[in-house]
Protein backbone atom coordinates (compact mmCIF):
# COMPACT_ATOMS: atom_id res chain seq x y z
CA UNK A 1 0.00 0.00 0.00
CA UNK A 2 1.35 3.37 -0.85
CA UNK A 3 -0.34 6.51 0.38
CA UNK A 4 0.35 10.02 -0.92
CA UNK A 5 0.48 13.38 0.85
CA UNK A 6 -2.85 14.82 -0.24
CA UNK A 7 -3.14 18.64 -0.28
CA UNK A 8 -6.64 18.72 -1.78
CA UNK A 9 -8.90 21.64 -0.81
CA UNK A 10 -11.83 19.25 -0.51
CA UNK A 11 -12.79 16.48 -0.36
CA UNK A 12 -9.53 16.08 1.46
CA UNK A 13 -7.38 13.67 3.40
CA UNK A 14 -8.82 11.88 6.44
CA UNK A 15 -6.88 10.53 9.43
CA UNK A 16 -5.45 7.12 8.56
CA UNK A 17 -6.63 5.68 11.89
CA UNK A 18 -10.18 6.55 10.88
CA UNK A 19 -9.87 4.96 7.45
CA UNK A 20 -8.48 1.78 9.00
CA UNK A 21 -11.32 1.56 11.52
CA UNK A 22 -13.86 2.06 8.75
CA UNK A 23 -12.20 -0.69 6.72
CA UNK A 24 -12.19 -3.06 9.68
CA UNK A 25 -15.92 -2.47 10.26
CA UNK A 26 -16.94 -2.55 6.61
CA UNK A 27 -18.47 -6.05 6.66
CA UNK A 28 -19.65 -6.12 10.25
CA UNK A 29 -20.15 -3.00 12.33
CA UNK A 30 -20.48 -3.57 16.10
CA UNK A 31 -21.54 -7.18 15.72
CA UNK A 32 -24.59 -6.34 13.59
CA UNK A 33 -23.39 -8.37 10.62
CA UNK A 34 -23.91 -5.28 8.43
CA UNK A 35 -21.96 -2.36 7.09
CA UNK A 36 -23.27 1.04 8.22
CA UNK A 37 -23.96 1.63 4.52
CA UNK A 38 -26.64 -1.04 4.69
CA UNK A 39 -28.35 -0.05 7.91
CA UNK A 40 -31.81 1.43 8.18
CA UNK A 41 -31.47 4.93 9.56
CA UNK A 42 -34.38 4.09 11.89
CA UNK A 43 -32.66 1.01 13.29
CA UNK A 44 -31.38 0.49 16.82
CA UNK A 45 -27.93 -0.07 15.29
CA UNK A 46 -27.77 3.34 13.60
CA UNK A 47 -29.42 5.50 16.25
CA UNK A 48 -26.42 5.52 18.64
CA UNK A 49 -24.14 6.45 15.71
CA UNK A 50 -25.91 9.72 14.93
CA UNK A 51 -26.49 10.51 18.63
CA UNK A 52 -22.80 9.92 19.36
CA UNK A 53 -21.75 12.28 16.54
CA UNK A 54 -24.01 15.01 17.94
CA UNK A 55 -22.73 14.57 21.49
CA UNK A 56 -19.14 14.77 20.26
CA UNK A 57 -19.78 17.96 18.26
CA UNK A 58 -21.38 19.55 21.32
CA UNK A 59 -18.49 18.58 23.55
CA UNK A 60 -15.63 19.40 21.16
CA UNK A 61 -17.06 22.75 20.08
CA UNK A 62 -18.44 23.56 23.56
CA UNK A 63 -21.85 24.24 21.98
CA UNK A 64 -24.12 25.93 24.55
CA UNK A 65 -27.43 24.23 25.47
CA UNK A 66 -29.52 26.82 23.63
CA UNK A 67 -28.10 25.77 20.25
CA UNK A 68 -29.31 22.91 18.04
CA UNK A 69 -26.90 20.70 16.12
CA UNK A 70 -28.07 19.44 12.73
CA UNK A 71 -26.66 17.09 10.11
CA UNK A 72 -28.07 18.15 6.74
CA UNK A 73 -27.44 17.52 3.07
CA UNK A 74 -26.89 19.82 0.11
CA UNK A 75 -23.44 21.04 1.15
CA UNK A 76 -22.37 24.51 2.14
CA UNK A 77 -24.04 25.82 -1.01
CA UNK A 78 -27.53 24.87 0.17
CA UNK A 79 -26.87 26.80 3.39
CA UNK A 80 -26.48 29.97 1.30
CA UNK A 81 -30.21 29.60 0.56
CA UNK A 82 -31.38 28.23 3.92
CA UNK A 83 -29.77 31.08 5.84
CA UNK A 84 -31.57 33.65 3.70
CA UNK A 85 -34.93 31.84 3.74
CA UNK A 86 -34.99 31.16 7.48
CA UNK A 87 -33.31 34.26 8.86
CA UNK A 88 -34.07 37.02 6.34
CA UNK A 89 -37.67 37.31 7.48
CA UNK A 90 -38.23 40.45 9.59
CA UNK A 91 -36.77 43.47 7.80
CA UNK A 92 -35.65 41.32 4.88
CA UNK A 93 -32.24 42.99 5.04
CA UNK A 94 -28.85 41.40 5.64
CA UNK A 95 -25.23 42.59 5.85
CA UNK A 96 -22.56 40.60 4.03
CA UNK A 97 -18.78 40.97 4.20
CA UNK A 98 -17.33 40.05 0.84
CA UNK A 99 -14.06 38.16 1.16
CA UNK A 100 -14.05 35.95 -1.90
CA UNK A 101 -15.93 33.46 -3.98
CA UNK A 102 -17.92 31.70 -1.25
CA UNK A 103 -19.07 34.89 0.45
CA UNK A 104 -20.02 36.30 -2.93
CA UNK A 105 -22.05 33.23 -3.84
CA UNK A 106 -23.84 33.36 -0.50
CA UNK A 107 -24.75 37.01 -1.04
CA UNK A 108 -25.92 36.33 -4.60
CA UNK A 109 -28.17 33.53 -3.38
CA UNK A 110 -29.73 35.74 -0.69
CA UNK A 111 -30.36 38.44 -3.28
CA UNK A 112 -31.88 35.86 -5.62
CA UNK A 113 -34.29 34.91 -2.84
CA UNK A 114 -35.39 38.52 -2.37
CA UNK A 115 -33.28 39.52 0.63
CA UNK A 116 -31.89 43.05 0.45
CA UNK A 117 -28.15 42.46 0.69
CA UNK A 118 -25.84 45.24 1.86
CA UNK A 119 -22.19 44.49 1.18
CA UNK A 120 -20.80 46.45 4.13
CA UNK A 121 -17.13 45.64 3.46
CA UNK A 122 -15.10 43.93 0.78
CA UNK A 123 -11.50 43.02 0.01
CA UNK A 124 -12.09 42.84 -3.73
CA UNK A 125 -9.68 45.78 -4.23
CA UNK A 126 -6.70 43.50 -3.53
CA UNK A 127 -8.04 40.29 -5.07
CA UNK A 128 -9.39 39.21 -1.67
CA UNK A 129 -5.92 38.76 -0.20
CA UNK A 130 -6.97 40.10 3.21
CA UNK A 131 -9.90 40.27 5.64
CA UNK A 132 -11.37 43.75 6.05
CA UNK A 133 -11.51 45.03 9.61
CA UNK A 134 -15.12 45.56 10.60
CA UNK A 135 -15.24 46.21 14.33
CA UNK A 136 -18.95 46.76 14.65
CA UNK A 137 -21.97 45.96 12.51
CA UNK A 138 -25.07 48.03 13.17
CA UNK A 139 -28.43 48.53 11.50
CA UNK A 140 -31.82 46.87 11.19
CA UNK A 141 -30.39 43.74 9.64
CA UNK A 142 -31.97 40.32 10.13
CA UNK A 143 -28.47 38.87 10.16
CA UNK A 144 -24.85 39.57 9.29
CA UNK A 145 -22.90 37.08 7.22
CA UNK A 146 -19.20 36.19 7.01
CA UNK A 147 -17.10 33.44 5.48
CA UNK A 148 -14.69 32.73 8.33
CA UNK A 149 -12.03 30.89 6.32
CA UNK A 150 -11.76 31.58 2.62
CA UNK A 151 -10.70 28.29 1.10
CA UNK A 152 -9.80 29.71 -2.30
CA UNK A 153 -8.10 32.94 -1.24
CA UNK A 154 -6.39 31.43 1.80
CA UNK A 155 -7.61 34.07 4.23
CA UNK A 156 -9.07 33.73 7.71
CA UNK A 157 -10.65 36.09 10.24
CA UNK A 158 -8.43 36.78 13.22
CA UNK A 159 -11.35 38.45 14.99
CA UNK A 160 -15.10 38.04 15.31
CA UNK A 161 -17.07 41.15 14.26
CA UNK A 162 -19.22 42.59 17.04
CA UNK A 163 -22.78 42.55 15.73
CA UNK A 164 -24.58 43.40 18.98
CA UNK A 165 -28.08 41.95 18.74
CA UNK A 166 -27.82 41.11 15.05
CA UNK A 167 -27.32 37.34 14.65
CA UNK A 168 -23.94 36.60 13.11
CA UNK A 169 -23.86 33.79 10.54
CA UNK A 170 -20.54 32.21 9.60
CA UNK A 171 -19.53 29.71 6.95
CA UNK A 172 -16.85 27.63 8.69
CA UNK A 173 -16.67 24.89 6.04
CA UNK A 174 -12.89 24.95 5.75
CA UNK A 175 -11.90 25.72 9.34
CA UNK A 176 -14.40 23.86 11.53
CA UNK A 177 -12.62 22.37 14.55
CA UNK A 178 -9.24 23.58 13.32
CA UNK A 179 -9.10 25.80 16.42
CA UNK A 180 -11.33 26.71 19.36
CA UNK A 181 -14.28 28.94 18.42
CA UNK A 182 -16.69 30.74 20.77
CA UNK A 183 -20.01 29.46 19.42
CA UNK A 184 -21.97 31.87 21.65
CA UNK A 185 -20.77 34.78 19.48
CA UNK A 186 -22.74 33.40 16.53
CA UNK A 187 -26.39 32.92 15.66
CA UNK A 188 -25.67 30.22 13.12
CA UNK A 189 -22.60 28.29 11.99
CA UNK A 190 -22.41 25.84 9.13
CA UNK A 191 -19.76 23.63 7.59
CA UNK A 192 -19.77 21.24 4.66
CA UNK A 193 -17.98 18.21 6.11
CA UNK A 194 -15.71 17.34 3.22
CA UNK A 195 -12.91 19.76 4.15
CA UNK A 196 -12.18 19.01 7.77
CA UNK A 197 -14.70 16.54 9.16
CA UNK A 198 -15.71 13.65 6.95
CA UNK A 199 -16.25 12.54 3.37
CA UNK A 200 -18.64 14.67 1.29
CA UNK A 201 -22.36 14.37 1.92
CA UNK A 202 -23.13 15.95 5.25
CA UNK A 203 -23.29 19.57 6.39
CA UNK A 204 -23.00 20.47 10.03
CA UNK A 205 -25.33 23.28 11.16
CA UNK A 206 -25.27 24.84 14.62
CA UNK A 207 -28.20 27.19 15.14
CA UNK A 208 -29.34 29.22 18.14
CA UNK A 209 -32.80 28.07 19.18
CA UNK A 210 -34.52 31.45 18.83
CA UNK A 211 -33.55 31.54 15.13
CA UNK A 212 -35.43 28.34 14.38
CA UNK A 213 -38.80 29.37 12.93
CA UNK A 214 -41.91 27.65 11.56
CA UNK A 215 -42.16 26.92 7.86
CA UNK A 216 -44.93 29.56 7.63
CA UNK A 217 -42.56 32.21 9.01
CA UNK A 218 -39.79 31.44 6.53
CA UNK A 219 -39.60 33.50 3.36
CA UNK A 220 -42.51 32.69 0.99
CA UNK A 221 -41.95 29.60 -1.10
CA UNK A 222 -39.46 27.96 1.23
CA UNK A 223 -39.59 24.18 0.70
CA UNK A 224 -40.16 22.00 3.78
CA UNK A 225 -36.70 20.48 3.38
CA UNK A 226 -35.09 23.95 3.52
CA UNK A 227 -36.71 24.95 6.80
CA UNK A 228 -34.41 24.41 9.79
CA UNK A 229 -37.36 23.57 12.01
CA UNK A 230 -38.14 20.52 9.88
CA UNK A 231 -34.75 19.09 10.81
CA UNK A 232 -34.81 20.25 14.42
CA UNK A 233 -38.11 18.41 14.91
CA UNK A 234 -36.92 15.41 12.94
CA UNK A 235 -33.63 15.32 14.87
CA UNK A 236 -31.77 15.31 11.54
CA UNK A 237 -33.85 12.31 10.44
CA UNK A 238 -36.85 13.99 8.80
CA UNK A 239 -35.71 12.09 5.74
CA UNK A 240 -32.88 9.62 5.20
CA UNK A 241 -29.67 11.20 6.42
CA UNK A 242 -26.26 10.44 4.85
CA UNK A 243 -25.74 7.57 7.32
CA UNK A 244 -22.29 6.42 6.33
CA UNK A 245 -20.85 9.94 6.21
CA UNK A 246 -22.23 10.64 9.69
CA UNK A 247 -20.61 7.43 10.91
CA UNK A 248 -17.22 8.53 9.54
CA UNK A 249 -17.78 12.01 10.99
CA UNK A 250 -18.21 10.43 14.42
CA UNK A 251 -14.90 8.63 14.02
CA UNK A 252 -13.11 11.82 12.94
CA UNK A 253 -14.51 13.61 15.99
CA UNK A 254 -13.22 10.78 18.19
CA UNK A 255 -9.81 11.20 16.55
CA UNK A 256 -9.86 14.96 17.21
CA UNK A 257 -10.76 14.27 20.84
CA UNK A 258 -7.87 11.82 21.18
CA UNK A 259 -5.53 14.44 19.74
CA UNK A 260 -6.29 17.24 22.17
CA UNK A 261 -9.64 18.53 20.88
CA UNK A 262 -9.93 21.95 19.24
CA UNK A 263 -6.95 23.22 21.26
CA UNK A 264 -4.82 20.27 20.17
CA UNK A 265 -5.84 20.82 16.54
CA UNK A 266 -4.97 24.54 16.81
CA UNK A 267 -1.47 23.76 18.14
CA UNK A 268 -0.87 21.19 15.45
CA UNK A 269 -2.28 23.41 12.69
CA UNK A 270 -0.32 26.45 13.77
CA UNK A 271 2.90 24.47 13.79
CA UNK A 272 2.22 23.20 10.27
CA UNK A 273 1.14 26.56 8.86
CA UNK A 274 4.04 28.41 10.51
CA UNK A 275 6.46 25.94 8.98
CA UNK A 276 5.13 26.57 5.47
CA UNK A 277 4.61 30.36 5.80
CA UNK A 278 8.06 30.71 7.30
CA UNK A 279 9.55 29.09 4.24
CA UNK A 280 7.35 31.11 1.87
CA UNK A 281 8.34 34.38 3.56
CA UNK A 282 12.06 33.67 3.81
CA UNK A 283 12.98 31.38 0.93
CA UNK A 284 16.22 32.09 -0.84
CA UNK A 285 15.92 34.29 -3.92
CA UNK A 286 12.23 34.84 -3.20
CA UNK A 287 11.35 31.99 -5.52
CA UNK A 288 7.96 31.64 -3.79
CA UNK A 289 5.62 33.98 -2.01
CA UNK A 290 2.31 33.54 -0.20
CA UNK A 291 -0.61 35.51 -1.64
CA UNK A 292 -2.57 36.06 1.60
CA UNK A 293 -1.46 39.06 3.63
CA UNK A 294 -0.08 38.76 7.15
CA UNK A 295 -2.86 39.31 9.68
CA UNK A 296 -5.42 37.49 7.50
CA UNK A 297 -3.73 34.19 6.79
CA UNK A 298 -5.50 30.86 6.87
CA UNK A 299 -4.03 27.96 8.80
CA UNK A 300 -5.81 25.58 6.46
CA UNK A 301 -5.40 26.78 2.86
CA UNK A 302 -2.13 28.31 1.73
CA UNK A 303 -1.98 29.60 -1.85
CA UNK A 304 1.43 30.64 -3.19
CA UNK A 305 3.00 31.90 -6.41
CA UNK A 306 6.49 31.59 -7.85
CA UNK A 307 8.79 34.35 -9.04
CA UNK A 308 7.47 33.60 -12.54
CA UNK A 309 4.08 35.06 -11.60
CA UNK A 310 2.95 37.32 -14.45
CA UNK A 311 5.71 36.07 -16.74
CA UNK A 312 5.01 34.47 -20.08
CA UNK A 313 6.05 31.01 -18.93
CA UNK A 314 4.19 31.13 -15.60
CA UNK A 315 1.60 28.53 -16.57
CA UNK A 316 4.33 26.17 -17.75
CA UNK A 317 6.29 26.49 -14.50
CA UNK A 318 3.17 25.93 -12.41
CA UNK A 319 2.23 22.87 -14.42
CA UNK A 320 5.77 21.56 -14.02
CA UNK A 321 5.61 22.08 -10.26
CA UNK A 322 2.32 20.22 -9.98
CA UNK A 323 3.48 17.36 -12.19
CA UNK A 324 6.82 16.88 -10.46
CA UNK A 325 5.20 17.16 -7.03
CA UNK A 326 2.77 14.43 -7.99
CA UNK A 327 5.62 12.20 -9.10
CA UNK A 328 7.16 12.80 -5.67
CA UNK A 329 3.94 11.70 -3.93
CA UNK A 330 2.56 15.19 -3.17
CA UNK A 331 -0.83 15.54 -4.84
CA UNK A 332 -3.57 18.10 -5.50
CA UNK A 333 -1.35 21.18 -5.30
CA UNK A 334 -2.75 22.98 -8.35
CA UNK A 335 -3.91 26.47 -7.40
CA UNK A 336 -7.42 27.79 -7.97
CA UNK A 337 -7.67 29.68 -11.25
CA UNK A 338 -8.74 32.87 -9.45
CA UNK A 339 -5.47 33.03 -7.51
CA UNK A 340 -3.18 31.07 -9.81
CA UNK A 341 0.00 29.33 -8.75
CA UNK A 342 -0.32 26.56 -6.22
CA UNK A 343 -2.36 25.91 -3.11
CA UNK A 344 -1.56 23.59 -0.22
CA UNK A 345 -4.58 22.71 1.89
CA UNK A 346 -3.33 21.40 5.19
CA UNK A 347 -6.45 20.45 7.13
CA UNK A 348 -6.48 18.73 10.52
CA UNK A 349 -5.66 15.32 9.08
CA UNK A 350 -2.47 16.53 7.35
CA UNK A 351 0.59 15.90 9.50
CA UNK A 352 3.65 18.09 10.02
CA UNK A 353 5.63 15.38 8.19
CA UNK A 354 3.48 16.01 5.11
CA UNK A 355 4.20 19.75 5.25
CA UNK A 356 7.92 19.09 5.73
CA UNK A 357 7.89 16.80 2.68
CA UNK A 358 6.25 19.59 0.69
CA UNK A 359 8.84 22.18 1.74
CA UNK A 360 11.67 19.76 0.90
CA UNK A 361 10.19 19.34 -2.56
CA UNK A 362 9.75 23.11 -2.94
CA UNK A 363 13.41 23.71 -2.11
CA UNK A 364 14.54 21.25 -4.75
CA UNK A 365 12.18 22.67 -7.34
CA UNK A 366 13.37 26.21 -6.65
CA UNK A 367 17.03 25.31 -7.07
CA UNK A 368 16.31 23.49 -10.34
CA UNK A 369 14.24 26.26 -11.88
Complex with ligand PLP: residue 53 or 170, whichever CB lies closer = 170
Complex with ligand PLP: residue 68 or 195, whichever CB lies closer = 195
Catalytic residue among 5, 68, 142, 195: 195
Stretch that binds ligand PLP, among 36-44, 169-177, 260-268, 360-368 (CB under 6 A): 169-177
Catalytic residue among 171, 229, 272, 334: 171
Stretch that binds ligand PLP, among 23-31, 69-77, 222-230, 309-317 (CB under 6 A): 69-77
- Is 151 a binder of ligand PLP (CB under 6 A)? yes
Please provide the DSSP assignment of 32-75 as one string: SSS-GGGS-TTSTTTHHHHHHHHHHHHHHTT--TTEEEEEESSH
State how far the Cα of 123 lies from the Cα of 32, in Å rounded to an integer: 53
Nearest to 171 by CA among 67, 97, 269: 97
**Least CB distance from residue 316 to ligand PLP, whole Å?**
29
- Is the backbone of residue 236 left (phi > 0), alpha (psi -120 to 50) or beta? left
Complex with ligand PLP: residue 167 or 192, whichever CB lies closer = 192
Stretch that binds ligand PLP, among 71-79, 112-120, 258-266, 271-279 (CB under 6 A): 71-79
Helix (H) or strand (E) holding 5: strand 5-6
281 included as an active-site residue: no
**Least CB distance from residue 188 to ligand PLP, whole Å?**
14
Which DSSP letter does residue 336 get?
P
- Is 88 a binder of ligand PLP (CB under 6 A)? no
User: What sign does the dihedral 167-172-177-178 (CA atoms) show?
Assistant: negative
- Is 242 a binder of ligand PLP (CB under 6 A)? no
**Least CB distance from residue 192 to ligand PLP, whole Å?**
3
Query: What angle separates helix 261-282 from helix 352-368, to the nearest 10 degrees?
Result: 10
- Is 75 a binder of ligand PLP (CB under 6 A)? yes
State how far the Cα of 281 lies from the Cα of 10, in Å rounded to an integer: 26
- Reported in sequence order, the residue ranges of 131-234 that DSSP labels E, i.e. its strands, are 143-147, 149-150, 155-156, 168-171, 188-192, 203-208
Among 73, 77, 259, 283, binds ligand PLP (CB under 6 A): 77
Residues in a beta bridge with 288: 306
- Is 83 a binder of ligand PLP (CB under 6 A)? no
102 included as an active-site residue: yes
**Least CB distance from residue 124 to ligand PLP, whole Å?**
17
Residues numbered 176 to 235 that lie near ligand PLP (CB under 6 A) are: 192, 195
Active site residues: 102, 171, 195
Amino acid sequence: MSRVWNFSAGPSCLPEEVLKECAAEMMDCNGTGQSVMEMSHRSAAFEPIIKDAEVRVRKLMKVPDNYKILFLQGGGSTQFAMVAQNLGIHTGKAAYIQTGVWAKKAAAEARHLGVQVDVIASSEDKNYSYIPKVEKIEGDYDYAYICFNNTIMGTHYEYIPDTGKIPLVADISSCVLSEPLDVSKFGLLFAGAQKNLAPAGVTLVIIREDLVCDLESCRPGTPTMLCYKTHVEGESMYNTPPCYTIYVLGKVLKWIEANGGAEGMARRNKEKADFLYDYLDKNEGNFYHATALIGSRSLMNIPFLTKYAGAENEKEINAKFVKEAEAAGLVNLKGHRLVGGMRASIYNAMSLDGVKALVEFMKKFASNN
